[in-house]
Structure 1
């Protein structure tokens, strides 16, 4: 008797050219996401200044995107395990680009923050689904070289975005930064539709953990609002220092207590849910747990550096948006070289842990060295520090997802991949909030301490003293590069001190990341794609004891005859 293997078991492995064609839409989609995010990074100080926002508004424009990215990532990941992944990816592109375009019409910081929050929902889908779709068609052993390619494209967008954004801002105004991604997104949608063909998945009943989504959103949002505002509320004047919202106040108790309560309820709901948003059973896997811990530090380093280095260049060194984009190239160069280089080495030799350890050491070194910079630090040294941090991010970011995908059950690839990405985004969100709060509080303290210097600088300006005095009293983020020399030097020193102080916060997290990576189990990378692992698992389930002469399908798709009385099938011959 013969048994015909299912069609899914006979699907041939794609060659290198076919893989590149299939990935072209994914790569361009990620490029759109990164470009739309980074193109405004160098112009953000100008945007906040023009919209009349302060340092808190600056932080929330960034944090809003990171927050919704973090919250939506596990949702997209869960949907990826339940429904059509390709359609989800296209939907994420549409959401991201429409929100980005809407942000270009912002008239105040609140509208901009709202648009950036919606933008983060799309970004969460692009981040989570690109990893899941890649796992569908490429095995972990081969994935290193392609993840390096993704890293290279991300680095290109991160280099080109700030440069393009600076040029656009200086030439045509910052609003055009939000429209530049639209034509690229249209091409990405067409490419995904034409080139990406993923294996068909069995239809399942889709159940969404809505209560879990609400509780997770409430917990993270309350935590971030508390971190951003606690101890930094001012009267709106640069030369006044007020702590109307102390770290240990009734507001703190309510917000922090609410965040903890919502987190506890989220855990209870996840334990009881039939389709949990983040299956807590994943934490039984040591690889997943340690990768999550390491990813938090990577997120803090990656997002914190991208946000505050741009501020450092413009507020502490008086650079224009275009100049700021050029000045951050060393960090992106480190990310580009390490991501592509290490990805190729992982694919060639199959070894991944040494590169992760080296990368985490570079994260510690880069974070610490950036905490020592001043407004007049030799730029060559600043470039070296940025390069080290970028190389550390490039070595760890993609490879931590790779390690988790290698160990995760094939039917949980979506939630496992998005779980690591979620905690990386969450780490970045909290890190940016904490670093922003520390920067804001430090700047307020330094402005109060140097009140006499600021007053003396204003007095030396003659008839322009009143204008600049009103600018500082407004509480809006100052445009340091446009200040007169006497005033600019004072504020460059203040902001350099505050930004370097905020980088110090990332150091202990980087150390924890190093320890987590050291204890990661060093297991070999499998050569099977997610689809092949699923097919093998289904075939294993189909292999059962049957009467003499009956045929069964093995995990490899071969037909074997099982003799009667042999419970394990060991006596039969594979034919």
Structure 2
């Protein structure tokens, strides 16, 4: 929480895009840790058979943040300053930290912090960041800033693939305490879950970004109203996530839930691809409800599936990697979707005979097409602007959601062929059911035992 607080505080004071990116990276490091620790705590404290209920509740709460965050951010950006979009999180961070200290206090453990820091897999972290960055940058540049066949695009892309391979070899053969132990990929279910969660992150984050953008660019809605119009996707996700979690806790089965969720997501995204300026609001709401409902059914039930297939000592790392893969899907989705959308606009405007000096500002800010003075300064007539929106931008938007539908359909097939099953009583019979002990006593003991095991297995000189 401290890292997240500092990152957002600094982001609000940024004076350049580089400063903003760095500060958001710091905040993201803190936020990623919070998300993973929440699920790790649930997996340590809650019996496996009941875990679906609690991961469903946590997913619902997170989805509420996704629902109201864009609305609050839109209001702050319009009425105050974009800086407040970061600063508004600060009091919430303080409150959350205080609540964590009260309800989940940590007892001091023996062993110095320096000794603990020594066994962290720093080379693995560097290779992960380097590989992801080298792969994502060419996806952003390709076809927009530089041609796809240019050295500037192909060289970092190839280097990124090489770094990813190097990372896998390092984690497999060298790292004493790897951040991604390669042995977890021996479980077919875990591999299936990771593929499914990559698709989930890809679909969810591209929809979260490009649906409001569609409402602003094509329909001319304000940022605040566009954020409000995203509520059907997110609120239906809240409902379905809670419902799926309770169902897993009650029945112990999740195969049908995950399968149905991805199928609904594929259908919903395919239908959303037909959105245009004349689509009725009622149709939009129904299709967004369908997509959100499907996404919610797959969001946390896959966590239970992965945890049920591995030993208890691997649950934490399997959960953390699951979160990483989902966020990686979202990170890759945005540049890929941006490339599809921007290339569609560029191709259409080139066919109309516009020069690059006119095309570039439109690609950078498509909402200019709704501004009469802006299109006049770019020598674009109102009828041409309408054509670019209805044919160029809408085609790119359609391509994005057809890709989302394909990702969800692929996840559906992967799930069908994997060994997803039911939560057996044998798996959960040793799970903790706190009675006289408090939750924080149990959690502290579990974390202490896990650290002993990890330290011993790593061969470190750490003494507890």
- Smaller-chain TM-score range? 0.7 to 0.9
State the partner residue of 2:389: 492
State the partner residue of 1:144: 52
What stretches of structure 1 move > 3 A for 4+ residues in a row?
197-206, 469-476, 478-482, 487-492, 525-532
The counterpart of 1:282, out of the listed 161, 184, 187, is: 184
State the partner residue of 2:419: 520
* CA distance in 2 between partners of 1:106 and 1:419 (Å): 31
State the partner residue of 1:431: 333
The counterpart of 1:358, out of the listed 247, 260, 285, is: 260
State the partner residue of 2:435: none
SS at structure 2 position matched to 1:173: coil
Structure 2 gaps, min length 5: 374-381, 433-441, 450-464
Instruction: Using the TM superposition, give the Cα deviation of residue 166 of structure 1 relative to its aligned residue in structure 2, in angstroms.
Output: 2.1
Corresponding residue pairs, total: 417
1:94 aligns with 2:2: yes
Instruction: Using the TM superposition, give the Cα deviation of residue 481 of structure 1 relative to its aligned residue in structure 2, in angstroms.
Output: 8.1
State the partner residue of 2:453: none
2:270–2:405 CA contact under 8 A, matched in 1: yes
Greater helix content: 2
Q: Deviations over 1:316-370 (max 9, x none)?
A: 1111011101111111122011011111111122221111111010121122122
2:362–2:369 CA contact under 8 A, matched in 1: no
Cα RMSD after superposing both structures: 2.7
Instruction: Using the TM superposition, give the Cα deviation of residue 311 of structure 1 relative to its aligned residue in structure 2, in angstroms.
Output: 0.8
What pairs with 1:60-79 in structure 2 (closer than 5 Å)? none
Instruction: Using the TM superposition, give the Cα deviation of residue 109 of structure 1 relative to its aligned residue in structure 2, in angstroms.
Output: 2.8
1:209 aligns with 2:121: yes
Q: Deviations over 1:82-112 (max 9, x none)?
A: xxxxxxxxxxx12122212222233333332
State the partner residue of 1:247: 148
What pairs with 1:419-498 in structure 2 (closer than 5 Å)? 419-451=321-353, 473=361, 476-480=364-368, 483-484=371-372, 486=382, 489-493=386-390, 494-498=392-396
What pairs with 1:140-289 in structure 2 (closer than 5 Å)? 140-197=48-105, 206=116, 207-233=119-145, 245-272=146-173, 273-289=175-191
* CA distance in 2 between partners of 1:295 and 1:349 (Å): 23
Instruction: Using the TM superposition, give the Cα deviation of residue 490 of structure 1 relative to its aligned residue in structure 2, in angstroms.
Output: 4.2
Over 3 Å counting, the alpha-carbon distance change for 1:200 and 1:392 in structure 2 is farther
Instruction: Using the TM superposition, give the Cα deviation of residue 475 of structure 1 relative to its aligned residue in structure 2, in angstroms.
Output: 6.5
SS at structure 1 position matched to 2:83: helix
* CA distance in 2 between partners of 1:335 and 1:357 (Å): 16
Structure 1 gaps, min length 5: 1-92, 234-244, 455-468, 539-575
2:192–2:415 CA contact under 8 A, matched in 1: yes
Instruction: Using the TM superposition, give the Cα deviation of residue 429 of structure 1 relative to its aligned residue in structure 2, in angstroms.
Output: 1.2
The counterpart of 1:504, out of the listed 398, 402, 405, is: 402
* CA distance in 2 between partners of 1:372 and 1:295 (Å): 25
State the partner residue of 2:457: none
1:271–1:280 CA contact under 8 A, matched in 2: yes
What pairs with 1:284-433 in structure 2 (closer than 5 Å)? 284-433=186-335
* CA distance in 1 between partners of 2:150 and 2:316 (Å): 41
Over 3 Å counting, the alpha-carbon distance change for 1:472 and 1:522 in structure 2 is closer
Q: Deviations over 1:96-141 (max 9, x none)?
A: 2221222223333333222222222112111211111111211121
Q: Deviations over 1:247-301 (max 9, x none)?
A: 1222233112211211221121111122112011001011111111111110111
Who wins on radius of gyration, i.e. which is larger? 1
2:237–2:294 CA contact under 8 A, matched in 1: yes
* CA distance in 1 between partners of 2:111 and 2:197 (Å): 32
Deviates more, 1:100-109 or 1:483-492: 483-492
1:439–1:501 CA contact under 8 A, matched in 2: yes
The counterpart of 2:19, out of the listed 111, 116, 119, is: 111
TM-score, normalised with respect to structure 2: 0.83
Instruction: Using the TM superposition, give the Cα deviation of residue 517 of structure 1 relative to its aligned residue in structure 2, in angstroms.
Output: 1.5
TM-score, normalised with respect to structure 1: 0.68
1:471–1:478 CA contact under 8 A, matched in 2: no
* CA distance in 1 between partners of 2:299 and 2:110 (Å): 31
